[in-house]
Structure 1
Amino acid sequence: MLNTYPLPRMKMVGMRTLLLICLLLSGCSVTKTVPKGDALFTGFEVKVEGKNDSSNRGKQLQAELGAAVRPEPNASILGLRPKLAIYNAFYTEKEKGLKHWIMTKLGEPPVLISQVDTGSVSTVMSNRLHNRGYFNNQVSSATEVDTAKKTATINWTARMGEPYRLRNIKYTLNDSLAIHQAIRQTQPESVLKTGEPYDLGLMTDERLRIDGELKNKGYYYFSPDMLIFSVDTTVGNRQADVLMRVKEVTPSPALQPYTLDDIYIFANYFIGDSMAVNDTISILGYHYIPNEEYLKAKHLLDGVFLAQDSTYTRENHLLTIKRLSGLAAYKFVNIDYSPDTLNPGKLDAFIYLTPAMKKSLRAEAQMVTKSNNFAGPGLKVSFQNRNAFRGSEVLSVEFTGSFESQVGGRGTGTVPEGVEAPKKSGIPSYELGVQTTLAIPRIVSPFNLRNLRTEFVPQTRIGLGFNFLSRSDFYTLNSYNATYGYTWRPKETLTFDATPINLQYVRLTKTTPAFDTVLVENPYLKSSFENQFIIGGIYQMTYSNQMFKDRTSNIFNKLTLDLSGNVVSGFQSLLGKPKPTPEEPRVLYKDRFAQYLMVDNDFRHYLNLGTESQLVWRLATGVGYSYGNSRTMPYVKQFSVGGPNSVRAFRARSVGPGTYDVPDTVAFSFFDQVGDIRLETNLEYRFPIAGFFKGAVFADAGNIWNLRETDKEGAKFEAKNFLSELAVGTGVGLRIDVEFFVIRLDLGIPVRVPYLPKGDRFVLNKFNGSFSGDYGMVLNIAIGYPF
């Protein structure tokens, strides 16, 4: 166990900082800048009184009417108003300077009761109730002012009875017109139902639904405002009859369906170009303009779902735009239609494709932080060609380099007596790498596969790379990789990623005596570092509905299956090779190949509590099983826990496996803890603070285990003990979210330390306020949200 070294001065600094934050948030007085005779609008309440209302929409109406209140009170968190506090603390009448910038950009002026026009708000609320079927309603308001505190609240009360309900719903149509027959065919799918309350919003939705159906039947010039509803509320008993018809003034082109005639594709179009169509080539019935020098037609036409003599449909129109927009070779896609003057009832289609910048070179300076606590400056240089072979193929070549030093780990503080401190070199670690990737926007396969009818462009990915890592105190490592795989999205929420060819070769080229000693003392670790091939496939399925921003609940789930060595092992068995043993494994070019099965799942649930507030729960589980030609999982494939995106109260790779307690001789030298099984869960509440500053409160738990007995005591997974062996931490976070990137600072505090003796694992009461020892804090600095 490591000694704890408290830092009194750091404690005092932390207490002073906390006190300063509290004073700032309190703002001394939230009414400091409220004018005399006015009051701060601090809140409101909306009551819905519908004694005879059987629709049970009270809470829904209350929220809807509350959204009509303008202006809204100043934002508050736990009773504090941080934006208003910042405004008050930095208030200045000057129109420039630092204080003015902070006051206007991070602060928020007080919302005054004089700014609230209760009469107008009440009228808006009454209109919204009328639109929901409450034709006889009353909305009143009462303002309560606390003159001593200079604050005010407003209470609105909405009174209504039973809403009007739909009795009959009829479509008044003339069957002699084709469009009327088409509308009548859609009636069974109507969103209007007899017996339901009158709702103006549903009538608007019904017009949009019918228009969408007609657009997919060729009615290009039709629009929703050509439909009109008539409502008769005089039938008695709070009932209404609804009649829907097509306006008599609807122009004749909107009343007929259209088919497509000529389709022109401008494959190299820029705004201002001539729209002449005489310089064309004909390919598969399409007029391709001007030629194939920029992009070959056979590759582009997979994304065109408009066909000559087919009925115009909005579905095919949007599908074509989205599919072509997914090609990296183009930055703008637009489709226009015009009536064919020689063929009534036909449209000519014009597809305009504006090329993107073909080649780009980008250099990026980085501050590299890794999961094993190494940090330092880095440089990444990327070259990209977005149309490498005239098929919108994206060729990327990326060169990376970084110089790193270890900045964390359990081996912090003073080295225990008798333990040799690791040597400090000028550059403890450096890494160089090159990765080449070719992304082809179609499925390249020996089989003749049909074109996927999806708005997302399928991809074939080919990758080749090399990486050199030098940890000067321990080892150098060469890593080679080659991949061939596919990515496709059959629908918006589902993504499949199949990499049937995944080749990796990891070679430990040079070790120091210190690292050799660590390997001798840890046979399990030694087997993980052996030179070996990883030959197999990786298959992933991802489900996510996070693109639907208006939902209260969003889900993300990523399932990964990783296989290695089975094909090679089976082939060698057919050739009569002897069965592998730990002493004599099967080899490929004199080095063993890994054989394992790994399953990993990452599940996340996002509960949206407000415009920017969110409660996120994550559960990550995984298991890797080595067999046949492998005694252990390869080191690069094993699981770890701890760090910025894991259990943040513990430094990266410092937890587990199980209850294993790392000896000081290891903790102050090479120190990475990995295992075959992972169980990790996180709960995080995210909330806005001011401007682009966001906050978080979190709790994390997790650990790793080995499937087999090893030289590490307590490392094997036992079903009856795993819950008591979870590392638990909590903490708070600050995020600077400027939309295109996020800088994250998370301060983790350990709650339960699994490698301590039973009875001593709960350590929250031993928290020392420092950044060292088993009971200290851990500051995680990272880019992006943890999950």
Structure 2
Amino acid sequence: MNSSFPLKGRGAKIGIFLLIAWLSSCNTLKRVGENELLLTKNAIYTDGERVLDEDARSLIVQEPNTRVLGYPLRLNLYNLAKKDPDSTFQAWLNRKPGREERLAKLLSNKQVDALGESFLVKGYSEWLKKIGEAPVIIDTSRSRKTLQRLKTYYDSKGYFNNSTTFEIKEEKRKQRAGIDYLISLGKPYFIDSLTYSIASPAIDSIYRKNTARSFILEGKQFDFADFNSERQRLTELFRNSGVYNFQESSITYNILRDTAETRDDQQMTVELNIENLRKRGDSAITTSEYKVFSFDRINVFADYEFGDDPGSMQSTEYRNYTIYFKDKLRYKPKALTDAIFFKKDSLYRDLDRLRTYRQITNLNTFKYPNIQILEDSTQSKLISNIFLTARSKYSLGLNLDVTHSNIQRLGIGFSTSLITRNVFGGAETLSLSARGTFGLLSDTSLPEDFFSEVGADINLTFPRIWFPLPTEKVIPYYMLPQTRISAGTSFQKNIGLDKQTLNSILGYTWTPDLFRKNTLELLNILYVRNVNPDRFFNVYGSSFRQLDNIANNYEDDPALADFFEPTDDPDDLRLIIPEGTTGFTEAVIDGMVNTTREDFIDVSRIEERRDRLTENNLIFSSNYTFTKNNKSGINDNSFYQFRLKLESAGNLLSGLSYLVPFNQNDNDNLLVFGVPYSQYIKTEFDFIKHWDLSRSNVLAFRSFVGIAVPYGNSESVPFVSSYFAGGSNDNRAWFPYSLGPGRSSDINDFNEANLKLSFNLEYRFPVVGNFKGALFADAGNIWNVWDNVDDPNKTFNGFDSLADIALGTGLGLRYDFTYFVFRVDAGFKTYNPAEAPSKRWFREYNFGNAVIQIGINYPF
């Protein structure tokens, strides 16, 4: 949803002036005592060098008040609150004698107290204190605690002889100071030798074979983090080598320092100890050697409910698995066993357990499984019991939305879906969905202001790669393979050219791990039919105005008289849509009217664009998308993500044309079902990087490069496969489709092209509570390249065209609802390539011309 910023004129200037005056008048030291110092900054120095490491800085106990763009907003909000709001209420009671008695007659004492508690001044003060922040007064006891933390931290890095102190640095400004924490590191300690003592022979054997990747190495500086990493590595190693019950607490280290005069005082000996398994009994703790276990039996309990008696179930054997069920086995055995990575006589591996959890959950048929690992009676083999609880066979969803945009005055949308699980007994999922949007258009000049769009889809998902040839060796089941077959259709009325679409997809997805995902659409068929192509000049108003302005030069030609209609201005005529626009264009192109060369070129370009955007499209394409990221969790603010997509359209039909004779149109394009099929190749690269700057301040960057090149049966890329610029997730200083192509100024059209460059930089910071702020800069544009558009204003012509990159800057406000983020961004056109070169910078850089973009969640 987009709308223009309404702040204009004198009111905006007065409001900004009052805001600046209020911020300037706030007394930062209002709550700072006469003999107290307000903490303004902290700094850590090791041997005179400034420390920027966030791990070290996080140990500081007392941090300065938070700032928003350098201004202590929360502190000054706190200072605005009344120090003692109860006294304000008492003063109100004392203004007139007897007021308290009169209130007491009307209300009980308890109610009088409640009235005082809810009194406006107190409520306002409490709210300010809640969202504000009390001044941070320097507390030397907390500074000493910080020193203790820093000493322990650098001890863990091998600087056992470090010494710490702090200095309070008073500023020139009154009652303000910073604290410098000074650490003298001393000489670091190194690992001289590594020995080990391992109680269990099985553990000793595994350890000896896997020392190459150890984090603890001779000659390396002591670092406690290496010992934690090594403990985790060994625990994973043993648990993935058959020792299912290995305990991390069995691993300990002895660190020794030889004080003999012949030895360097900074050298240390590390002894690794791995003890036996400790078991807590009813009355004592016993120990036993760790053993390597393999599986003897694997039991799968289908349709299991909590409290069921497994002994009362029926069972069947399938490939060394025992499957238990109640009355009837509703699942194909292969569908169940393919999701389980434990194998009879194979060693236990924690990795197989994790993969089993993931794959069973990925089936979308069962709830989160319960996997039980037991030793058999001989205590030499394992038994695995896997309990599966089925999800509901059917589920129904319904959503309702109310929307408003620059196109829709009011829109009411709905969507509903019916999901059926385990359709064919192999954990397949069938989804039927329908959607619709109905409402009123913002453009009341159209004959009808009612619009509608309805659609329906059917999706069938298989939890495996559905392909004639075996694929298990290339894409094993632990990669969560899926096959999706879908078909859908949609119908529009009074939206653009009223498109009708038919779409069908055969695609595959697989995820080798949590950080990588592959998507292959082997076949994606899309048919787009424009029901009302004659409405082109009603929809693309800029193209009509350009054509009408050209036609004004020839409106006195008698041969063109039937193409015009009068307007409110008796001296002005306008082309009739569509008869006049079509007739005038044909007359110019066919040479029936004598025009200038420039007008002929412009009319030809307009007609070429109209023909391209009104033609029906048939797209047979295949595409592959690879996505990778290293985000470790929802709270990880330092990560990267990139996406690579390759798409090819029309090659299958082009190959068939050598076997099957296709019809051709007047332009020698091959036709399928009477429609020229599209042929192009397309590639996209999208890269995102986030940096955590500290204290919830994040710098986010995104770059996008995309190009689609037509060839063979096409001279241009279809509208649905082209690029546009502007919008809440792109360049926020422009509305969607309003930027570009290049330096053209068709700002009222749905502008699109086949080359796009986009770069975004955003600084995100906390404001108050769940409110977050942002400063951003968006750069980019779209161009036509290697297609049938030859307008130099719209085409990419080498490095010189980079001067057409538009720049939008602005600020935003977000509210974090935990599950999603609601955001409002105000974008300003900083550099507009559509303007004359001398007017491109800061031409409309004011609140009156700001563009407001509203979105859900962060744009990248």
Q: TM over 0.5: same fold?
A: yes
Matches within 5 A, 1:275-294: 275-276=310-311, 279-291=314-326, 293-294=329-330
Give, as a single letter, the amino acid of the residue that structure 2 aligns with 1:616: A
Give the gaps of 5 or more residues in structure 1: 1-5, 51-57, 408-420, 771-775
* Mapped pair 1:481 → 2:503: yes
Looking at structure 1, the residues matched to 830 and 173 of structure 2 have their Cα atoms a distance apart, in angstroms, of 45
Which amino acid letter does the alignment assign opposite residue 147 of structure 2? S
Distance, in Å, in 1 between the alignment partners of 2:6 and 2:133 is 37
> Does the CA contact (< 8 Å) of 2:454 and 2:490 recur in 1?
yes
SS at match of 2:74: helix
Following superposition, the deviation at residue 511 of structure 1 comes to 4.5
In structure 1, the partner of 2:682 is 598
* Residue of structure 2 equivalent to 1:462: 485
Q: Which of the residues 494, 500, 504 maps onto 1:471?
A: 494
Name the residue aligned to 1:322. Answer: 358
Distance 1:59 1:165, change over 3 A: farther
1:589-668 → structure 2 map (5 Å cutoff): 589-662=673-746
Distance in 1 (alpha carbons) for counterparts of 2:510 and 2:338: 14
Residues 383-782 of structure 1 correspond to what in structure 2 (within 5 A)? 383-385=417-419, 387-389=421-423, 390-403=425-438, 423-424=445-446, 427=449, 429-450=451-472, 452-453=475-476, 455-471=478-494, 475-512=497-534, 514-515=537-538, 517=578, 521-547=606-632, 553-577=638-662, 580=664, 583-662=667-746, 671-707=749-785, 708=787, 710=789, 712=791, 714-760=793-839, 762-770=840-848, 776-782=849-855
Q: Secondary structure in 2 aligned to 1:573?
A: coil
Deviates more, 1:330-339 or 1:514-523: 514-523
User: Which letter maps to 1:562?
Assistant: E
Q: Which moved more, 1:304-313 or 1:463-472?
A: 463-472
Give CA-to-partner distance per residue, 1:275-318, whole Å, 9 cap, x none: 54754332222222325645433212222111122111112122
CA change 1:233–1:267 in 2 (3 A) is: same
The residue number in structure 1 matching 2:217 is 193
Greater Rg by CA: 2
Q: Give yes or no for contact 2:7–2:847 (8 Å, CA) kept in 1.
A: no
- Secondary structure at the aligned position of 1:182 is classed as helix
Q: TM-score, normalised by structure 1?
A: 0.86
Q: Deviations over 1:527-560 (max 9, x none)?
A: 2321232122222222222346787753222222
Distance (whole Å) between structure 2 residues aligned to residue 27 and residue 425 of structure 1? 56
1:113 aligns with 2:138: yes
Structure 2 SS opposite 1:444: coil
Q: Does the CA contact (< 8 Å) of 2:743 and 2:834 recur in 1?
A: yes
Q: Secondary structure at the match of 1:355?
A: coil
Q: CA separation in 2, counterparts of 1:30 and 1:396?
A: 60
Q: Which runs of 5+ in 2 are unaligned?
A: 87-116, 279-285, 539-576, 586-605
Any conservation in 1 of the 2:670–2:676 contact (CA below 8 Å)?
yes
Give the superposition deviation at 1:487. Answer: 0.8
Matched-pair contact (CA < 8 Å) for 2:637–2:698: no
Contact 1:329/1:386 (<8 A) preserved: no
Asked whether the 8 Å contact 2:680–2:714 carries over to 1, the reply is yes
CA contact (8 A) 1:373 1:651 kept: no
Contact 1:25 1:81 in 2 (8 A): no
- Alpha-carbon distance in 2 for matches of 1:375, 1:75: 42
What residue in structure 1 maps to residue 292 of structure 2? 257
Aligned residue number for residue 258 of structure 2: 234
31 and 461 in structure 1: CA distance in 2 versus 1, 3 angstrom threshold? farther
- The answer on whether the counterparts of 2:190 and 2:266 sit within 8 Å (CA) in structure 1 is yes
> Within 1, Cα distance between the matches of 2:129 and 2:303?
46
| Cα shift readout 1:161-187 (whole Å, capped 9, x = no counterpart) | 10221111111346x823222222223
How many angstroms does 1:84 deviate by?
3.0
- The residue type paired with residue 452 of structure 2 is Y
- 1:69 alignment partner, SS class: coil
SS class of match (1:122): helix
Q: Deviations over 1:313-360 (max 9, x none)?
A: 11212221222222322332232212111x221121122333344433
Q: Contact (CA 8 Å) 1:582, 1:630: kept in 2 or not?
A: no
Q: Shift of the alpha carbon at 1:373?
A: 5.4
List per-residue Cα deviations over 1:238-264 (Å, max 9, x = no partner). 211111123378555452111112222
CA distance in 2, matches of 1:470, 1:600: 32
Deviation of the 1:404 alpha carbon: 5.6
In the alignment, which of 61, 83, 91 is matched to residue 70 of structure 1? 61
Kept in 1, the 8 Å contact 2:295–2:346? The answer is yes
Counterpart Cα distance in 1 of 2:831 and 2:173: 48
Scaled by the length of structure 2, the TM-score of the pair is 0.79
Distance 1:446 1:249 in 2: 50
The answer as to whether partners of 2:331 and 2:422 remain within 8 angstroms in 1 is no
- In the other structure, the counterpart of 1:361 is 396
Residue 418 (structure 1) aligns with: none
Count of residue correspondences: 745
Deviations 1:67-94 (A, max 9, x none): 2222433322333233333333356758
- Going from structure 1 to structure 2, the CA distance change for 1:114 and 1:554 (only over 3 Å counts) comes to closer
Q: Aligned runs of 1:104-183 on 2, under 5 Å? A: 106-114=131-139, 117-143=142-168, 149=174, 151-173=176-198, 177-183=201-207
Distance (Å, rounded) in 2 between the aligned partners of 1:628 and 1:283? 53
In structure 2, the CA distance between the partners of 1:599 and 1:743, relative to structure 1 (3 Å rule), is same
Change (3 A) 1:36 1:353: farther
Q: Are 1:382 and 2:416 an aligned pair?
A: yes
Letter in 1 for 2:342: L
Q: Does the aligned pair in 1 maintain the 2:338–2:477 contact within 8 Å?
A: no
- Conserved in 2, the CA contact under 8 Å of 1:48 and 1:62? no
- Residues 276 and 121 from structure 1, CA distance in 2 versus in 1: closer, same or farther, beyond 3 angstroms? farther
Deviation digits for residues 557-584 of structure 1 (CA, Å, limit 9, x no counterpart): 2222222222122212223447x56534
Instruction: For 2:824 and 2:77, locate their aligned partners in 1 and report how far apart those are by CA, in whole Å.
Output: 21
Indicate the larger mover: 586-595 or 248-257: 248-257
Distance 2:36 2:317 in 1: 74
Aligned-residue sequence identity (percent) comes to 27
Q: By percentage of residues, which structure has more helix?
A: 2
> Secondary structure in 2 aligned to 1:619?
strand
Distance 1:76 1:385 in 2: 49
Q: Provide the secondary structure at the position in 2 that maps to 1:188.
A: coil
CA contact (8 A) 1:131 1:199 kept: yes
Shift of 1:639: 1.3
- Relative distance call for 1:143 and 1:532 in structure 2 (3 A) is closer
Distance 1:269 1:150 in 2: 69
What root-mean-square deviation, in Å, do the aligned CA atoms of Structure 1 and Structure 2 show?
Answer: 3.3
Q: Deviations over 1:594-637 (max 9, x none)?
A: 22222222222222322432222222222222233223221211
Residue in structure 2 matched with residue 10 of structure 1 by the alignment: 8
- Shift of the alpha carbon at 1:381? 2.2
Change (3 A) 1:114 1:103: same
- The answer to which of 206-215 and 246-255 deviates more is 246-255
Contact 1:322-1:456 within 8 A present in 2 as well = no
Q: Structure 2: how far apart are the matches of 1:527 and 1:159?
A: 72
CA contact (8 A) 1:259 1:310 kept: yes
Q: Give, as a single letter, the amino acid of the residue that structure 1 aligns with 2:769.
A: G
Q: CA deviation at 1:30?
A: 3.5
Instruction: Please report how far the alpha carbon of residue 508 of structure 1 lies from its aligned counterpart in structure 2 after TM superposition.
Output: 1.4
Distance 2:712 2:699 in 1: 44
